[in-house]
């Protein structure tokens, strides 16, 4: 099978290349070349779709079984690549996000309403991320019809994650000691190992599956307390988790999701996304212990090579954690 990956050197793209190689597929990467020769055995094409059709000239006259678009955020640019590849690929796979849904008061499935752009001309990714992804999906589907495959992952985690939005927890727990934990150990958490997402995406392409799928995990509900206890056990460290309620955290300006990753304060459905459709189509999950250990090992190597700032901006600074814990202890006393 001959695959084209748009993006390819970032987090998920790396795992897609590795998953395709394991299954002996031919891969072509198309990107701007900011990290050339990352995969010596993979063909690299250079271009930039932000330049419109002119930036996609390297794709002309070629044919692929599928394109996997890992870096589409703006409808205008996704539309350019979809139109260019309409007759050059059998299937267009768009990596979207569960953020497309308009309401997370309840657990969404693939039929739940998606967000709409208040301003159709918006390209403000930070503000309109979910709605922009939803429009990108619509463009891919309008262009490819039944040949479109829109995958909506939850938080993608594991080695090479540049964001820190999951990595914070194994790194923090590896330090041991008293750990600030958010609100309630009974709260649910969801995420997907990038290796599982990559492997499953390749398998869907192999089977020529189309449609829309949520893609997060694990298969059964996972509680925050169980997640943290599993991390401590897997990493072989002794921790004491201090659960601080949401009101106190808010009063001390501790932000959900960004400072305490996986903590969803006001959108419970975000951590309860329904994934039965994906599981029926073969989505499987790496053991949580392995995801945690592998992520921590990668993170520690990353810090040694590039410093702690290379792990992204998410997560609670040690000084702030200590300050909040001290205030909580004083309040309890």
Residues of the chain with CATH 3.90.25: 168-189+221-267+287-332
Strand, helix or coil at 305?
Answer: helix
Q: For the domain 2-153, what is the CATH code? A: 3.40.50.720
First-to-last C-alpha distance (Å) of the chain: 64
Residue written as tokens 């271009």?
Answer: 47
According to the model, what pLDDT value does residue 9 have? 65
Lowest model confidence (mean pLDDT) among 1-15, 167-181, 306-320: 1-15
- Integer-rounded Cα radius of gyration of the chain: 21
Over range 151-176, report the average pLDDT. Answer: 96
CA distances from 74 to 19, 128, 139, 214, 262 (A): 27, 10, 11, 20, 26
Top-tier CATH class for 168-189+221-267+287-332 = alpha beta
According to the model, what pLDDT value does residue 36 have? 72
According to the model, what pLDDT value does residue 226 have? 98
Residues of the chain with CATH 3.40.50.720: 2-153
| Residue 68 binned pLDDT confidence (cut-offs 50, 70, 90) | very high
| pLDDT tens, position by position, 2-55 | 999 998 667 899 999 999 999 999 999 998 877 777 788 899 999 999 999 999
Do 271 and 188 meet the contact criterion of CB atoms below 8 Å apart?
Answer: yes
């Amino acid at each position: 099978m001959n695959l084209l990956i748009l993006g390819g050197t970032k987090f998920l793209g790396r795992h897609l290349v590795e998953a395709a190689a394991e299954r002996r597929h031919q891969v072509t990467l198309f990107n701007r070349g900011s990290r050339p020769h990352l995969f010596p055995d993979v063909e690299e094409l250079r271009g930039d779709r932000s330049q419109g059709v002119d930036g996609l000239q390297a794709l002309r006259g070629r044919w692929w079984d599928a394109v996997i678009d890992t870096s589409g955020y703006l409808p205008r640019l996704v539309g350019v690549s979809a139109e260019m590849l309409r007759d050059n690929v059998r299937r267009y796979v768009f990596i979207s996000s569960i953020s497309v849904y308009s309401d997370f008061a309840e657990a969404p499935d693939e039929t739940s309403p998606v967000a709409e752009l208040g301003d159709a001309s918006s390209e403000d990714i930070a503000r309109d991320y979910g709605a922009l992804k939803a429009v990108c999906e619509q463009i891919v589907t309008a262009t490819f019809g039944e040949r479109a495959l829109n995958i909506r992952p939850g938080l993608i985690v594991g080695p090479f994650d540049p964001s820190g939005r999951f990595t914070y927890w194994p790194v923090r727990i590896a330090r041991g000691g008293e750990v600030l934990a958010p609100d309630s150990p009974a709260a649910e958490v969801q995420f997907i190992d990038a290796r599982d997402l990559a492997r499953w995406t390749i398998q869907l392409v192999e089977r020529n599956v189309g449609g829309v799928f949520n893609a997060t995990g694990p298969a059964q509900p996972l509680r925050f307390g169980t997640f943290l206890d599993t991390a401590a056990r897997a990493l072989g460290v002794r921790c004491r988790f201090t659960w601080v309620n949401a009101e106190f955290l808010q009063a001390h300006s501790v932000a959900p999701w960004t400072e305490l990753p996986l903590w969803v304060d006001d959108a419970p459905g975000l951590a309860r996304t329904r994934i039965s459709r994906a599981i029926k189509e073969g989505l499987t999950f790496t053991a949580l212990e392995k995801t945690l250990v592998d992520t921590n090992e990668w993170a520690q190597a990353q810090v040694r090579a590039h410093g702690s700032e290379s792990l992204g901006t998410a997560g609670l600074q040690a000084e702030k954690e200590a300050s909040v814990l001290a205030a909580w202890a004083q309040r309890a006393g």
